[in-house]
Amino acid sequence: MPVMTARSRTEKHRASTPLELFFDLCFVVAVAQAGARLVHAVAEGHALTGIGSYAAVFFAIWWAWVNFSWFASAYDTDDPLYRVVTLVQITGVLVLAAGVPRAFDAGDWTVVVIGYVVMRLALTSQWLRAAHCTQDGERRVALRYAVGISVVQLGWIAMLLVPAESRGARTAAFVVLVLAELSVPALAERDRSTSWHPHHIGERYGLFTIIVLGETIAAATVAVQEAVYEQDALGELLPIAAGGLLIVFSAWWIYFAVPIHDYLRGSREAFIWGYGHFLIFGSAAAIGAGIEVAVEEAVGKAHVPDTVAAAAVTLPSALFLLTVWALHARHFKRDFAEQLSLPVAALAILACTFAGGWAVFAAGLVAAATVAVGELLSRRPAVAG
DSSP string, 346-383: HHHHHHGGGSGGGHHHHHHHHHHHHHHHHHHHHTSPPP
What number of CA atoms fall less than 13 Å from residue 60's CA on the CB side? Answer: 34
- C-alpha pair distances (Å), 279 with each of 199, 282, 316, 327: 21, 5, 9, 10
CA quadruple 93, 114, 58, 124: dihedral sign: negative
DSSP secondary-structure letter at 6?
P
Cβ-contact 61, 35 below 8 angstroms: no
| Burial class of residue 177 (count of CB atoms within 10 Å of its CB; 0-12, 13-18, 19+) | middle
Long-range (24+ apart) CB contacts under 8 A made by 172-176 are 174/56
In this predicted structure, what is the pLDDT of residue 195? 87
Pick the CATH number of 198-378 from 1.20.1410, 2.60.40, 2.30.30, 1.10.150: 1.20.1410
Name the pTM for this structure. Answer: 0.90
In this predicted structure, what is the pLDDT of residue 1? 60
Task: Give the residue from 80, 133, 98, 79 showing the smallest Cα distance to 26.
Answer: 98
CA quadruple 370, 373, 375, 378: dihedral sign: negative
In this predicted structure, what is the pLDDT of residue 384? 45
Residue 286 neighbours by CB under 8 Å, 6+ apart:
35, 38, 54, 312, 315, 316
- CA triplet 305, 308, 314: central angle to 5 degrees? 145
What number of CA atoms fall less than 13 Å from residue 176's CA on the CB side? Answer: 14
Give SS3 for 284: helix
Phi-psi region of 134 (alpha: psi -120 to 50; beta: other; left: phi over 0): beta
> What's 166-235 look like in SS3?
CHHHHHHHHHHHHHHHHHHHHHHCCCCCCCCCHHHHHHHHHHHHHHHHHHHHHHHHHHHHHHHHHHCCHH
In this predicted structure, what is the pLDDT of residue 66? 93
In this predicted structure, what is the pLDDT of residue 385? 43
Task: Give the residue from 66, 113, 123 showing the smallest Cα distance to 282.
Answer: 66
- CA triplet 332, 271, 9: central angle to 5 degrees? 85
In this predicted structure, what is the pLDDT of residue 301? 82
- Taking the C-alpha atoms of residue 373 and residue 290, their distance in angstroms, rounded to an integer, is 26
Task: Give me the residues of the chain with pLDDT under 50, please.
Answer: 384-385
In this predicted structure, what is the pLDDT of residue 150? 96
What is the chain's alpha carbon radius of gyration, rounded to the nearest angstrom? 22
- Taking the C-alpha atoms of residue 64 and residue 34, their distance in angstroms, rounded to an integer, is 15
Residue 64 neighbours by CB under 8 Å, 6+ apart:
27, 89, 92, 93, 116, 119, 120, 123
- C-alpha pair distances (Å), 281 with each of 55, 68, 323: 11, 16, 10
Domain locations in the chain as residue ranges? 18-188, 198-378
- C-alpha pair distances (Å), 240 with each of 91, 184, 215, 292: 36, 42, 17, 9
- Taking the C-alpha atoms of residue 137 and residue 123, their distance in angstroms, rounded to an integer, is 20
